[in-house]
Chains A and B, each alone.
Chain A
């Protein structure tokens, strides 16, 4: 076909139709899925917070006192005229567009249930713009300080609550002995070793700690009198946290600042703990929350003041708190009708009930938190251990190599086994054979660990395999043993990948219902579990049960509140894990 003027009209065309069709089909499918999920979550949120009954005045009040100041803060932090223009344009244009579109659909096509254009504007325009501005604003120094402070406040409360929850089931007296005899001497010895750079003190750390722990286990039954719970938490957690905070600050700012940073939150927390105990609140948890929030916040504030940049950001928590208070005052003064959300304080702290308005999720939350904590520890330790063994220790050839390959194939297959089957295994193995009890927290934790173990192992193997061989050879050539190479080079480099896999797997474990039904977990319990062997319920179980109740209030309001709680806890947990992973990535 090569004629003289073949190229006169260019070089001809190559068809890209299939590629373009594929591209837009994929895009369409993803967008459809995301939008469907988004609409579902919007409705769940509307039900959980009873927003359908929120009056426009109420919405406007909080929009003006809470959202607008926050947006202004973000814009001030971003300090970028283009962003400001774009954000104002989106907010204003969005208002017109949403109102017009919504009215048109309602008038011409079909009425939209439980949604008005104000709510639609809130979810479709205001929320994304707020998220975008929060992202942009956190890039500025002021915003970074503000979000950093907010993160420490929220994170401290969450970690304090989680730790308090765990101590509902773990024996605080045993912990007291273990800390006093094992952890404290070991840490002290390690610090001494670092200070004097004496490796002998550092190597003694592990044996001393182990001896202390074993001694604690034996002495638990022997020792007759113990200090009160509050004193135990003060001694084992509050004081060490305060001391660590003081040390962090003391290095750079001297003794006065260190005492202030460590001491002030400690005093407040102790006072709070004693006040709480006299007011009938769970005193140790109050103490934990106060000290875990106070000390990191104090350290952070001290650092920010030290750096002297973005001090205005420290006002963010006050801005938000002030917005809530101002909004409440306005609503009260003018008597605006307020919605009655299903998801409120009492939902989180009350036990399940026959009446929808009294129903609470507290025992199920405690059950889920305990199980997830156990699953995280078990599956991480077992998963990393197994994958290190499979990747680093077994040879590729010979009988052991064949065994490894068989193991590999089976691990991959196990990941595909339905969770009901794991439930059956848990029932047979842990509940009956090992006698850990039907429907107990420890049985559930072990079963769920088994369930996600294959996923953890496979992702950890993948992460370990992606560590370049150059690094291993480099370490080997330095005369490192295989263990030293694994511990010092391979695992630190693989850790971000391992954590990613574990996060995904834990997300699956927290939402599992089928294996819990198989091991006989209770659908509803009315008291939080107080030991690993007490009967428990988990959040997905409780939500599933509510969904089957005849009253509409249960099936819509209470279930929605439960779902939102579950999602918030899941997102919080994953967020923490992702923060940890990012830190591990930056460290390497």
Chain B
């Protein structure tokens, strides 16, 4: 492990790729793949010809400076960009071998297979139980809802903290708990992929580290794609890292260890060491 320390940076960005080696080795199948993806907001290009394959049951981090298109890329996967009227997508995004932008794909049905966690915790103003059961309710889940709620809250490492107050409002929880509640809500309908858009940037470091531990566990069962500003975080939790730079260009995409220790591109090294971005 080589340290990439920049001398002229005030902040020591000493990042080390974590020991995610337990999952890194065997080649996994592809969960999501982008091919020649271009995204425009009006005339402005937000993503420029991105092609990448995201392995299943791994944590893939998307990093890059603000406005580089990483969140836009994330929202292409579950077609949340459809909500933005001026947004136009060209190219393919494959999920489970099917292009999600094909005419016969129902975006609502697609989103039921892909969970999403947002930057700011956004629990519904309902009870904790109803929050977690929301996806089950709208999908007409026909089984034991309470058991699934418990399972999801355990999966989000929140059960022990809230098991006695399932009927109190989700808004009464702390910020970190709210974000874990949102994760529980996302995994309750048992999706295949979980998208996370800077899930810890609104949280304090302790709450953030809990979420990071949780993400590590989630990758046992789910494909996790996480957008983050925090390079240490990307290094700690991800197996693969994609670096986007300004203009929506995917500059480098490789194993996390490789990106942080020995990147191919000078621009990536500059960005990671804080010289740029």
Contact = CB atoms under 8 A, between A and B. Distances in A.
A489 B135 CA distance: 12
Interface stretch (A56-64, A467-475, A497-505): A467-475
A32 B127 CA distance: 46
A587 to B, nearest CB: 9
B138 A480 contact: yes
Contacts of A488: 124, 134, 137-138
B122 A473 contact: yes
A199 B142 contact: yes
A434 to B, nearest CB: 40
Contact of A588 (B86, B112, B126, B142): B126
B25 interface: no
Interface stretch (B182-190, B222-230, B244-252): B182-190
B268 interface: no
Contacts of A395: 85
B138 A484 contact: yes
Given A397-B85, A470-B118, A480-B138, A475 B80 contact: no
B189 A470 contact: no
Contact of B111 (A396, A468, A477, A588): A477
B134 A478 contact: yes
A480 B135 CA distance: 8
Interface string A152-183: 00000000000000000000000000000000
Interface string A441-479: 000000000000000000000000000101101111111
Nearest to B112: A479
Contact of A199 (B115, B134, B140): B140
Interface string B78-91: 10100101100000
A473 B78 CA distance: 12
Contacts of A396: 85
Nearest to A480: B138
Interface residues of B, number: 35
Contacts, number: 75
Interface residues of A, number: 23
B109 interface: yes
Interface string B111-142: 11101101010111110000000110111111
Contacts of A50: none
Contacts of B138: 478-481, 484, 488
Interface string A249-261: 0000000000000
A197 interface: yes
Contacts of A197: 144-145
Given A197-B145, A395-B85, A470-B120, A478 B126 contact: no
Given A199-B142, A489-B124, 17 more contacts: A197-B145, A396-B85, A470-B122, A475-B134, A476-B111, A477-B80, A477-B116, A477-B118, A478-B111, A478-B185, A478-B189, A479-B108, A479-B110, A479-B112, A479-B113, A488-B124, A492-B126
13 contacts: A199-B141, A199-B142, A395-B85, A471-B122, A476-B111, A477-B111, A478-B112, A478-B115, A478-B135, A479-B113, A479-B139, A488-B138, A492-B126
- Which 4 A/B pairs are nearest by Cβ-Cβ distance? A479-B112, A477-B116, A479-B111, A470-B122
Interface of B: 78, 80, 83, 85-86, 108-113, 115-116, 118, 120, 122-126, 134-135, 137-142, 144-145, 169, 182, 185-186, 189
